[in-house]
Every structure is written in C-alpha cells, then in structure tokens.
Structure 1
Amino acid sequence: MYLGIDLGTSAVKVIVIDDNGQLLAQQSAALSVQNPQPLFSEQDPHQWWQATDQAIRALSDKVELGAVDGIGLSGQMHGATLLDSSGNVLRPAILWNDGRSALQCRQLEAEVPDSRIRTGNLMMPGFTASKLLWVRQHEPEIFKQVAKVLLPKDYLRYKMTGQFASDMSDAAGTMWLNLKNRDWDDTLLAATGLTREQMPKLYEGPEVTGTLREEIAKAWGMKAVPVVAGGGDNAAGALGVGITKPGQAMLSLGTSGVYFAVTDGVYSNPEAALHSFCHALPNRWHLMSVILSAASCLDWVAKITHYSDVATMLGELEQSSPESQQVVFLPYLSGERTPHNNPNATGVFFGLTHQTDRLSLVQAVLEGVSFAMADGIEAMHESGYQSDEITLIGGGAKSAYWRQLLADVLNLPLTYRAGGDIGPALGAARLAMLGCKAGASLDKCCPKPELLATYTPNLSHHQQLNERRKTFKALYPAVKELF
C-alpha cells in the first residue's frame, strides 16, 4: 500500500491506495489562512504539521498503516517557509496567493534581465523568489537567520524525515530554477541574497528522498518507509488523473483555477503570464495558466447570499437557472495571474438592476470564473500549444452543472473521471508506488481513472455565453486603472 499526502490551502488530505492503485481510505483536516494586511496571505507551518498528524492518525482507524510501503507528498506551490539553523520556523509562511511583492518582482527582473529565459516565466508576486526579497528588505533580522527555504510540502518532508529536499515541479515555481537544466540557478538566487546551500536538494518526483523517522513511524503505526520527492499540487493532480504525456491536459477547479498541459520540452509565453514548469516526471514539462480565485469564489458568493453551503446553492441554481442573465462578474478576489498579472485586481459585479436576485449573482460568479479560465486557455493556444483531451478535476468539478457550463463557455469537449476530487493526493501516492515498487512502470502506476462523463458543448448556449464574455473581456481594461 502507498500513502499520499496533499497539503492544500484549506485542508490536508491523506489517502491510501493498494498495490493495484485502488483507493482504500481517505481523511482530511482543515487549515486556516491569515490575512493580516491587504494583499497578505499567510499560514502557520506548525498548523500544517498538526493537521497532517491529525489526519494520518484518523486514517489509521480506517486502514492498517503498518502495511504501507511508501509515502508521496504533494502540496500548494510557491509558499515561502523559512527555517533557521536549528530547523525552527522563523515567521508565518507567505502563500501562493500573497500579493505583497509586486515591487520586488520588478526589481528582480531588472537585476536579472534574462530571468524569463532562465525560468520560462514572468516574475510574479505569487512566486517564491520575490517573497524572499521582500523579507530581505522589510524583515532584515529574520532574513539574516534564514538557513533553509522550503516549499510547504517540503516542510512536512523535513518533519517526517529530517531531510531538506524538493522535486522539480514544485521547485520550478520558485523562480530560482533553471527550467531547461532542471537545477538551481545561482544568478537568480544571488539576486535575492541567497545561495544554493540554503535550498533543498533537488530530485525527480518518483525518487526517494529519505525514510520516515523512527519516532514518527511509531506514532503513526507505520514502518520506517521511503518518502519520495512527490510534486507540486498541479503536477501531482495531473498524475492522479493520468495526465502524463504530451497532448494531455486538465482543468482543475480548486481554490485557484488551473489549465495544465503536458509537454516534452520547454514552451513558454511569459508575456501572457502563462507558466512553464517541470512536470513531476523526468524529461517532462508542462504549460499552465492560473487564475487565483476559482472554487473559492463559490464559497464567497454562498456566504454573502446566505446559502448554508455551496452544494445547496448550486442545486438550487440548477433547478432554476436565470433565463435572461445580464450580470457579469470579474472573479479577481485575490488579484489575478493569467493573463493580467495584476495582484491589485479586484472582483467586480457589473449589470445589476432591481431585478437581480441572489441566483443571478451565483450564475454570474460561475460564468465569470469560466470566462477567466477561457482567457488562460486562449493564452496557451496563442503560444502554439493545443491539447488533444481535457479532463476536469478539483472540488469545483463535482458540479455537473458547472462542468457543462465550462464546456459551453470553452466550446470544447471535456471529460470527467473518477478520483478527480482527490487528484493531488492520488498523484502523490502514485509517485510513491512508482518510486518504491520493484518493476513499476508509468503506464501501470498512473493510468487514466474510470471515465464518468463526457461533456459536449451546446452551440446555442456557447453563442449566448460568448456575448456576455465580450462584456467580460471589455470590463477589465475599462476598470483596471481604478484598482
């Protein structure tokens, strides 16, 4: 059996799969985010560890963890977790959706003019490098004590194994990795006042990085099993639904929204804020467009319209979808990445009248997130790369209504497969199997899950939605100077 751990933004999810890749048990533990100032987004790494420990101990009530043969890790990308020389956390981790370091991004690009060639990406406030430059400038006493910079899931690895290690897919999101060489870039590190000695050792996703410490293994009722490198949440999520080869793609509707396409080389379109990262597999890369608020917009609109939960809200919407929708929503509740790269962008409702009711707002939010996803997909197509098949994953993809709406907005067929709601944890477990099972092959360890549904676009609906999308596309340029 193999254990997969996914350190998300809102929860830690842990699963166990058997030798045939079948899900045996799963468990989760909630996390909270702190926003101490505008644009700030932070979490306490100690809470990550406590939630992981809680979830795994609860998982032991469902399955015999002593039979686990390997562990894989996945998690939210880009977070800056700072440790001193004794391994103590120096400050709250600065998260992927933190927007405080826009000035530092400009400074880094000026300092390293060819940074986009080295990394394949724009410097963005969400990425790790600019966060460290911000700490260097605003918290110099803390910066002087930094002995190691870890990504969120790699802090869990340190607690589990005592090793400082990361994988290529997660490391690519720091802006310190040379994308073609798959190695730390000393010039980019120096621009933030760091050296590779302060970075974790790099591994490919299935490679073993260490073994579970004896005291942790005993506490969890496990053997001192190997822990593999794993992958960033999107790369691991892709492996969870069998997205391993060029031409395959997925659309992930989590807290953020991600369009992810596998490539066999480095492609990039940084001017459109498109991301180019390593995959969690050797000799694989991927292109990715990202919107910062996707399913999180549903949680927000459910709260302000006084629905008890998102499922109830979407169920009511599906029963009585507004016939003459006029409201348009910009879903930039946490700023935006692709294609605008604007941490100061905010959400906007446009077209409100006395006839607007709460379902009209909910419909507008669903459409607005879908329109923003379409912007990212267009940016990828403009880079010259198109996919053969697109699979939906993530918590937001549980809604059949939203799945069909996305197909209609994009005017593309979409597939929905089993396991999509636990994709990153499943991908982490699959990487553990790939790295720890003798004779394991990629095709056997990372198959496409069972096809549950296919969604074909409705041309009439697409045309109606496209008219509202024209308003959506015109709205951001009209108001961006006001942000």
Structure 2
Amino acid sequence: MYLGIDLGTSAVKLCVIDGAGHLVAQEAVDLEISHPFEGASEQDCEGWWVATRTAIAALDPSLRTAIRAIGLSGQMHGAVVLNADRQPIRPVILWNDARADVECVDILAAEPLAAQIAGVIPMPGFTAPKILWLARHDPAAHAQIRHVLLPKDYIGLRLHGELVTDPSDAAGTSWFDQAARRWSSRLCDVSATDPAWLPSVVHGTEIAGTLLPDVAADLGLTPGIPVAAGAGDGAAGAVGLGAVHAGDGFISLGTSGQLFVTTDSYRPNVENRIHAYAHTVPGHWFQMAAMLNGARPMAWLAKLLDRPIEVLLAEAAQAQPGPLFLPYLTGERTPHGDTTIRGGFANLGETTTQGSLMRAVLEAIAFSFADAAQAFAAAGTTPTSVLAIGGGTRSDLLMQMIADITGISLGRSDDAVVGPALGAARLAVVACGDRPIEAVMHRPDVRLWFKPKTARDLISPSRLEAYRALYPALKVVQRHLR
C-alpha cells in the first residue's frame, strides 16, 4: 500500500493505492483560511499538520501498517518561513494572496530577465515577492528567517525532518532557474532572499527522507518508510493522470483552475502569461495557464445563498441564460495578471433566480478556460483532447460548458476527484523502488467524454464576448470606487 497526501487550500486529502495502482481508501479534513486584510490570504501551518494527522488517523489501522511509502502534493507558492529552530515565524502567506503587487514590479525592474529565468512574469501569489514584502513591511519577521519551505514540504519536514522540495514546487517560487533546474542567485538577490534559506531540490520520484520513529508511532505507520519528495499540485495532478510525456494535458477544477500541457523542453511564453515550469519528473517541463478562481465561485455562491450546491446546480441546469458573472473573487493570473480586480454580476433583472445566478457562475468558469485556451493558442499550443481532475468535474453541466466554449474534448475518469493525492501516491511507488515510472504513470480509463457540440446549445460565443467586455468595464468602475 502507498499513501498520497495532498495539502490543498480547502482540505487535506489522502488516498491509499495498492501495488496495482487501484484506489483503496480516501480521507479528507477541511482547512480554514484567514483574510486579515483586503487581498490577504493566510493559513496556519500547524493547522495543516493537525489536519494531516487527523486524516491519517481516520484510515483503518491495518491499512496504515501496510503502507510502504508516502508521497506528497500540495498547494504551490505559499511562503512557509521558519526560524533557526525550524519553527514557523508567522502564518503562511498563500498562493492567492495579493499584497505583494508593488514588489513584483520592483523585482522585474531590478532584473528585466526575471520572467525568462523563472518561466513567467513575477506575480504577487509567488513566493519570492512575498519575502520581499516581509523585508519591507515586517522586518522583524524577515530578520528571523533561516528557512523557507513550500506548503507540502512543511508536511515533509514534520514527517522526515529534512528540508527538501521538488522541481515543480520550486518552479512556482520565482527563484528557480527553469532551464538549469536550480535556484537562481540573481532572483534571490532582487527579492531579499538568502539562497541558504532554500531547500535542496530532488525529483519528485526520489526519496526526500524516511519517516521519523516518533511520528510513525503517533500516526500508526511503520518507522523508516521512505517519503517521496512529491510535487506541486499541478504536477502531481499530471502524474495522477499519466501526463508525463510531451503533449499530455489536463484541466484542473479545484479551488483554482489550470490548463496544463507537458513539454519535453523549456518553452517560456511571457507575453501570454503562460507559466513554463520544470516538471517533477526528470527531463520534462510543462506549460500552464493558471486561474485563481477555478471551481471556487460555485462554493462561494452556495455559501452566500445558504443553499446546498447540488440543489443550485440542478436549478442552473434548468435556468435560461441571463445574468453574466465575472469570477475574479481574488484577482486573476491568466490572462490578466491583475490582483486587484474583483468579481461582479451583470444583466440582472426581475426574472433572475438563484438558479440563473449559479448558471452564470458556471458559464464564467467555462469562459475563464476559454481565455486560457486562447492564451495557449497564442503561445503555439492547441490541445484538442485532455483529461479533467478536481471537485468541479462532478458537474456534468460545467464539464459540457467548458468543452463547448473551448472546443476541447474533456475526459473524466473514476479517479477524477482524487486528483493530486493519486499522483503523490504514484510518486511514492516509484521512490521506494517497487515499480518504474513507465509502469506507474499511465493514463486512467476514461469513463465519460464531454465533446464539444457543434451547435453550442449550452453556451454561446456571443455570451463569451459579453463576458470579456466585463473585465475592462469593471476596471473602470473599480477605479471610481477607489
């Protein structure tokens, strides 16, 4: 048995697979997010560890003792800052935090080639601008920093005691030289970062450390079992879908959204805000469009209306197109690179219902993937068929909308909701030497394909154009509000 741990934004998710790669068990424990001021998004890394322990404890004891190796996945870009005793100095600044906008501009001004080196233009969600922000706005905390980790690697530290990351998570920091696959001293210099603070980098299929005896006793696991370095959630999702060869791709519909395609070389495309990152497996990179607001607006609306999301989705399926929605609840990366823009509804009327509001939200998520596909096309990549992972894949209506408006066929497997945790477990299989990459990282069986409908009767191109007009319109409104 092999355990995959995925430290998401909204929950810690686990999966256990057997030697044949079949899913045996799953667990999840929810996480809380704090927003101490407008644009800020933080979590307590001790809360991550408590949730991880709780999720593992929920597994059957006999299953826990049978686990041979552990793999890790997690939300990217978060700044876990530790002191000399490897204790957290402050709450973790997350991937969807917008405070370091000015710092991004200053990094690019100090090093005009920063985007070419790091694979994408500096953005506030990345780790390096956050450290520069701390140097300027919380110098007492900055002065205590002796180690910086990515979120999943903090869980790794608690499991095995080492300071290790993998290329895909390192890639999302704005410190990583993607072509050379090593830390860039220049990018550290311009972001108030000592390179000595950064963890060692090994491929996700390699062993980062072995499970500490006291931790094993606490968790009911076997001491000394290997812990794979793992991968950032996007790359781990790719591993779970077998997207580890050039041309393989997928979309992810979690809290955030991604359109992801594996490449066999480093292919930056800074102009279109396509992320060009090192993959977690040797000799590969990937291109990714990253949207800060994936399926999250669906849960946001359900909570706002205090109604079950399943009921609202059923009503959305019956509703006629009416309102439009801009889904940028926490800003947006691809295609705008705008941390300050916020969402909004338009075209409301007397006949607007809660179901039509949810339909507008689903449309907006589909439209964001249309923007991502357009950015990919400008970068010379035009996927026609990809797999899909994440909680948002549960909605047939949303999947069909995305297929219709992007022209991309979407495949959903039985393990679509498992996502990055499955990839983490697969990395564990390889790391402990039980099976080679080729035998483990295969594509799952697709149970249902959502193919674009030529009539596009669920979603129309004219509504896409209306949606695209909302962004510049709301930018003007926003300027007045400020």
TM-score normalised over the length of structure 2? 0.97
The correspondence of residues 355-434 of structure 1 with structure 2, limited to 5 A, is: 355-434=351-430
Percent of aligned pairs with the same residue?
A: 39
Kept after mapping to 1: 8 A contact 2:252/2:389: yes
For 2:473, the equivalent position in structure 1 comes to 478
Kept after mapping to 2: 8 A contact 1:102/1:343: yes
Kept after mapping to 1: 8 A contact 2:119/2:268: yes
The one-letter code sitting in structure 1 at the alignment partner of 2:445 is E
For 2:460, the equivalent position in structure 1 comes to 465
The Cα shift of 1:203 comes to 0.5
The 2-side partners of 1:253 and 1:218 are apart by 36
The 2-side partners of 1:162 and 1:60 are apart by 25
The Cα shift of 1:463 comes to 8.8
For 1:456, the equivalent position in structure 2 comes to 451
Comparing 29-38 with 348-357, greater Cα deviation is found at: 348-357
Consecutive unaligned residues of structure 1, counting only runs of 5 or more, are none
The 2-side partners of 1:251 and 1:327 are apart by 25
For 2:219, the equivalent position in structure 1 comes to 220
The 3-state SS of whatever aligns with 1:460 is coil
The 1-side partners of 2:403 and 2:329 are apart by 24
For 2:301, the equivalent position in structure 1 comes to 301
Report Cα offsets for 1:142-187 as digits up to 9, x if no partner.
1011000000000011111110000000000000000000000001
For 2:195, the equivalent position in structure 1 comes to 196
The Cα shift of 1:10 comes to 0.6
For 2:175, the equivalent position in structure 1 comes to 176
Q: 1:450 to 1:105 in 2, by over 3 A?
A: same
The Cα shift of 1:462 comes to 5.7
Comparing 406-415 with 183-192, greater Cα deviation is found at: 406-415
For 1:97, the equivalent position in structure 2 comes to 96
The 1-side partners of 2:424 and 2:189 are apart by 32
Report Cα offsets for 1:424-460 as digits up to 9, x if no partner.
000000001011134x222311111121101111122
Consecutive unaligned residues of structure 2, counting only runs of 5 or more, are none
For 1:274, the equivalent position in structure 2 comes to 274
For 1:164, the equivalent position in structure 2 comes to 163
Q: 1:464 to 1:165 in 2, by over 3 A?
A: closer
Q: 1:182 to 1:429 in 2, by over 3 A?
A: same
For 1:39, the equivalent position in structure 2 comes to 39
RMSD over aligned CA atoms reads 1.3
The 2-side partners of 1:321 and 1:463 are apart by 11
The one-letter code sitting in structure 1 at the alignment partner of 2:171 is A
Q: 1:464 to 1:191 in 2, by over 3 A?
A: closer
Kept after mapping to 2: 8 A contact 1:31/1:47: yes
Equivalent position to 2:442, from 442, 447, 465: 447
The 1-side partners of 2:313 and 2:11 are apart by 22
For 1:259, the equivalent position in structure 2 comes to 259
The 3-state SS of whatever aligns with 1:27 is strand
The one-letter code sitting in structure 1 at the alignment partner of 2:401 is L
The 1-side partners of 2:417 and 2:258 are apart by 14
The Cα shift of 1:261 comes to 0.6
The 2-side partners of 1:52 and 1:454 are apart by 34
Kept after mapping to 2: 8 A contact 1:247/1:388: no
For 2:324, the equivalent position in structure 1 comes to 328
The 2-side partners of 1:203 and 1:464 are apart by 44
The 2-side partners of 1:388 and 1:165 are apart by 36
For 1:78, the equivalent position in structure 2 comes to 77
1:4 aligns with 2:1: no
The runs of 4+ residues in structure 1 deviating greater than 6 Å are none
The one-letter code sitting in structure 1 at the alignment partner of 2:353 is D
The 2-side partners of 1:365 and 1:111 are apart by 39
The one-letter code sitting in structure 2 at the alignment partner of 1:354 is E
Comparing 99-108 with 376-385, greater Cα deviation is found at: 376-385
The one-letter code sitting in structure 1 at the alignment partner of 2:427 is L
The 3-state SS of whatever aligns with 1:459 is coil
For 1:120, the equivalent position in structure 2 comes to 119
The 2-side partners of 1:142 and 1:86 are apart by 14
For 1:240, the equivalent position in structure 2 comes to 240
The 3-state SS of whatever aligns with 2:456 is helix
The Cα shift of 1:373 comes to 1.2
The correspondence of residues 7-18 of structure 1 with structure 2, limited to 5 A, is: 7-18=7-18
The one-letter code sitting in structure 1 at the alignment partner of 2:173 is T
Report Cα offsets for 1:46-88 as digits up to 9, x if no partner.
0000000111011134x52122111100000000000000011
